[in-house]
Amino acid sequence: MTARPDVLVVDDDPSQCLEIAEYLHRRGFDVVEANDAASALHIMETRMPRVVISDISMPEANGIWMTQKATSQGTATKIILMSGDSDMVRAANAQHSGAFAVIHKPVPLKMLASFVERVVAAPGAR
């Protein structure tokens, strides 16, 4: 049986996805990656990560749609959306995406890992 990941990293840029995933793995997290929203939703349903870190801007379906879909399906996973585009960050907040947090990229990896550690350790976290 596969171990349940603590973190799912979602980004259509494979190098960005890998950079975040490898850093979190070195920090002791079980990490799984996805390069699109549909794959991420499937992973959330089957593997139930504690935290999802997702880019907002992705082809096909963006991170806002993915978050709204996951929330409507009752996921307890905490979703952190990221974008380097201030308009996308504002849109995610304005659309009440259901994200736990919406942050600007680039995010220093050490800061992102600390944030994930706090989310995982928070009372009520699975």
pLDDT in single tens digits along all 126 residues of the chain:
455 578 999 999 999 999 999 999 999 999 999 999 999 999 999 989 999 999 999 999 999 999 999 999 888 899 999 999 998 888 888 877 788 889 998 889 998 998 898 888 776 555
pLDDT at 1: 43
Is residue 69 a part of any domain in this protein? yes
Cα-based angle 42, 63, 126 (whole degrees, multiple of 5): 55
Is residue 16 a part of any domain in this protein? yes
Could you tell me which residues come within 8 angstroms of residue 42 by beta carbon, excluding any fewer than 6 positions away?
A: none
- Domains of the chain: total: 1
Q: How many CB atoms lie within 10 A of CB 125?
A: 14
Is residue 44 a part of any domain in this protein? yes
Is residue 117 a part of any domain in this protein? yes
Q: Report the CATH number at residue 92.
A: 3.40.50.2300
Give this prediction's pTM. 0.90
- Structural domain of 46: 7-121
Is residue 2 a part of any domain in this protein? no
Do 55 and 78 meet the contact criterion of CB atoms below 8 Å apart?
Answer: no
Is residue 101 a part of any domain in this protein? yes
Q: CA gyration radius for the chain?
A: 13
Is residue 126 a part of any domain in this protein? no
Is residue 1 a part of any domain in this protein? no
Do 43 and 90 meet the contact criterion of CB atoms below 8 Å apart?
Answer: no
Q: In 27-108, which ranges are continuous DSSP H helix?
A: 37-47, 63-72, 86-94
